[in-house]
Copies of this chain bind each other. A is one copy, B any other.
Amino acid sequence: MTESRRGRPRDTDIDERVLRAATAMLLEHGYAGLSPNEVAERAGVAKTTLYRRWPTKDHLAIAVVARLQEDDEITDTGDIRRDLTGYMVKIAAALERMRSAGRPAGDHDASAGVVAELVAAGARHDDIGRLGREVFARRNALALALITRARERGELRPGLDPVVLLDQLAGALYYRVLITGAPVDRAYTERLVATALDGARN
C-alpha cells in the first residue's frame, strides 16, 4: 500500500488517484472548497467515473476521512497506557488537521470546521450517516481489540467494558473539537489517558 502510494504513480489505480487529489483539496481548502469536478480534473479521471463511484461531494469527503484513518495505526507494545496514548495522540492530530483545513496556517480559531461539516452531512443523508458509522466501527474495532487484550492479560479491570473506555477517550477529543472548542494537544491527551486509567475517585 505504502509503496503504491509513494512510488510508481502510473500503477496506482483510479480510486487512489482520486482520493489522493480529494484529500489534498479538502485539507487545503476545507469543506466548502472541495469540488468533485476539480478533483476529477486534478486526478486525470473522467467526471462520470468519479460520480459513479462517489455520487456526491459528501460521499467523496467520507471516503477521504476513511482513507486518512487508515494512517492512524494502532501499536500493541503490551503497555496499554503507552499504546492508548500513542493512538489518541494520532486521533487528536487528525482532528486538529481536519478542524483547521482550509484556514490560514497559525489560525487558532476554535471552530470545528470540516469535522462538523462531515457530522452534519451524516445527519442530513441517511446513506452518508451509515457510511460514516461503518468507517468508525471498523476503526474502533481495532482499538477495542487492543483494550480487550490488555484486560485479558490483567492490565485492566476484569469487568471493564472496552466500549466505555474508548468512548471516554475518543469522546473527550471529539467533544473538545466539536463542542467546547478547546485544543487537543499532546499534554491534554496524556492527561486524559492517565485520568481514564487511574480513575477520578480518591
On A, residues with C-beta under 8 Å from B are 109-113, 115-117, 119-120, 122-124, 126, 129, 132-133, 136-137, 140, 154-158, 160-161, 163-165, 167-176, 178-182, 188, 191-192, 195-202
Q: Are A195 and B161 in contact (CB under 8 A)?
A: yes
Q: Are A136 and B199 in contact (CB under 8 A)?
A: no
When distances are taken between beta carbons in the complex, the residues of chain B under 8 Å from A173 are 171
Q: Are B116 and A112 in contact (CB under 8 A)?
A: no
**Shortest Cβ gap from A15 to chain B (Å):** 25
| Max count, chain B CB within 10 A of own CB: residue among A119, A136, A156, A188 | A119
**Shortest Cβ gap from A132 to chain B (Å):** 8
Q: Are A119 and B112 in contact (CB under 8 A)?
A: yes
Per the bound structure, the CA–CA distance linking A115 and B178 in Å amounts to: 11
